[in-house]
Amino acid sequence: MVESKSNRIALYVSAFLVIILVLFAILRDNAESITLKEATKILKDHSVKSVVASQDFVYLKTDKEVYKIASSQVSPEMFIDYKVKVKSSSNIYFYLLVLVLFLGLGTLLFKWLQKNKLINTQNIKNGRFSSLPEHSQPVESIKSDVTFSDIGGISDVKIELEEIIDFMKKPKRYKSFGARMPRGVLLVGPPGVGKTMIAKAVANAAGVPFYYQSGASFVQIYVGMGAKRVHELFTAAKNNSPAIIFIDEIDAVGKKRDGQRNDEREATLNQLLTEMDGFENSSGVIVIAATNKIDVLDSALLRAGRFDRRVFVELPTNRERASILSKYLEKVPHELDVNSVANMTVGFNGASLAALVNEASLLAIRQHDFQVTIEHFHQVKDKVMFGKKKLQILSNEQKQYRVTYQAAKVICATYFDLPFEKLLLSNEKLTPATDEPLIKHELESRVKMLLAGIVACNIKYNEHTSSAKGDLDEAKEIVEKMIQDYGMGSSLIVQESEKEILMKKLYDETRSLLESLQSVMKYVEGVLNERESITKVDVKKKIDEVL
């Protein structure tokens, strides 16, 4: 505090001295003193351009210089050939005006730098002047108000973390058994599953300070700043222990060192490794980090003694989705069966479910409905999953191709019981892709659904449209993985023509299926022409009648 005050005083003194020097430069008399003889000479030579008289001096201005001579040495007769100007004392006001303008421009420049974040006002208040924005700001904890009850569908994760919470609350109990608290916990999972909220909930449950940093905030263009920031973070946490440090997207700073030069990134990673090694068992600080790319992390960061525990946060199951949706629907007027919404949201993460409920609520408001219904969820589901796309204006012929294409896809998806609830004529995608382990026949069913539109158009019109590209690309990708990666061909060793053979086989089987369900095709096409949408229940009912 004393040092900060001294720095502030030094800053003010320096500013005052600068102003004095500027005033001295402006007001200083630069004229050269001359004798009466010299003055008489240059006056007779007519080299003087103007004469200015003040109370103490007479100034003679030539092309090259300005001379001055004491007023007491000259007589009025010397200047009979010149028009003498009297120097007014009001010139001081001119200089004061210049000073005011100077200070005004300085203030405007300061405000511009502050607005564009080229200087840090907080540093100036603390007695430090720096052109680096926010890098020197003190690290401060935040108070977490997130509880585990606010997060649905993480019962397994909660069990893993409750031990750490208990350790931070009752450290003596564990130390009496010779146990030490894990130094680090790594939360691994895809984006949007709630890793940050889980870390905040741990801090709230343990009742300790929570220090949040993103991995990207350590990666600076200024040499040494990343390592300095890491040191400041850990020092602040130790000084306020017990505490939790949460580093989001740690892969931004903790990538594998591959020998290519990146001195700043490596220095930051080395500092992080050193700080985690420097923990004492009694420090009371635990590091929680989150990543969705554990495979790119440096092995030194993953070894025991740094991140001792790894918690995998997966996409929510059907039951967990229902739990999450119940949380988000608490304040939304509805009479929904939450399980129905959960069934139609396979592949959704927590963030997507929150967005889905919000979009359904907004749609209900736009349509002036009193409550949210399942129909609202059907209408906004694709917008949340795939993003809103501008619909093309189709001609009558193009619309008929589209109807046939979509009718075939919905029939195949229903026949093979793929996860979806409703198809809209404008759907770009019908069912979400999944990375879960799938059996061979499940993958084949998905490929058949993707090929169904092409097959149906070729049956009815002997051609298909270019809009099939997306489905065709996905079908090729699945077949490629089946043969190349999963060993699902005729043998485990890949044959040259395996992919072509499998694709033709699936195409022919899809054609046979659709030819046998032509009455269902006509029914679905009729519904799509009339309503531009159809549910899985309606299609299944019609297929059951035929079969």
The answer on 292 and 166 residing in a single domain is: yes
Does the model's pTM come out above 0.75?
A: no
pLDDT tens per residue across all 547 residues of the chain: 444 445 556 655 666 666 666 666 655 666 777 777 777 777 777 777 777 777 677 777 777 777 777 777 777 777 767 776 766 554 555 666 666 666 666 666 666 655 554 444 444 444 444 444 444 556 777 777 777 766 766 767 777 777 778 877 777 777 777 777 777 888 887 777 778 888 888 888 888 888 888 777 666 545 567 778 788 888 888 888 788 888 888 877 777 776 665 566 777 777 778 877 765 555 678 888 888 878 778 777 777 777 777 888 777 777 778 888 888 888 888 888 888 888 777 667 777 888 888 888 888 888 888 888 888 888 787 677 666 554 456 778 888 999 999 999 999 999 999 888 778 777 767 776 666 678 899 999 999 999 999 999 999 999 998 888 989 999 999 999 999 888 888 888 888 788 999 999 999 999 999 999 999 999 999 999 888 888 888 999 999 988 7
| Domain CATH for 537 | 1.20.58.760
The verdict on 307 and 351 lying in the same domain is: no
Radius of gyration of the chain (CA): 39
In a domain, 497, yes or no: yes
Instruction: Tell me the CATH number at 223.
Output: 3.40.50.300
Say whether 197 sits in a helix, a strand or coil: helix
Question: Are residues 298 and 153 part of one domain?
Answer: yes
> What is the extent of the structural domain holding 517?
396-546
85, β-bridge pairs: 52
Segment (H or E) for 211? strand 210-214
Each as own residue / partner, the long-range contacts of residues 467-473 (CB below 8 Å, 24 or more positions apart, any chain) are 467/402, 467/405, 468/405, 470/428, 470/429, 471/409
For the chain, the domain total comes to 3
Q: Name residue 98's amino acid.
A: V
For residue 52, is it within any domain? Answer: no
Tell me the β-bridge partners of 245. Answer: 211, 287
Does 5 fall in a domain?
no
Name the phi and psi angles at 463, rounded to 5.
-165, 165
In 239-369 the beta strands, taken as DSSP E runs, fall at 243-248, 285-291, 309-312
In a domain, 181, yes or no: yes
**C-alpha angle with apex 421: 420 to 422, nearest 5 degrees?**
105
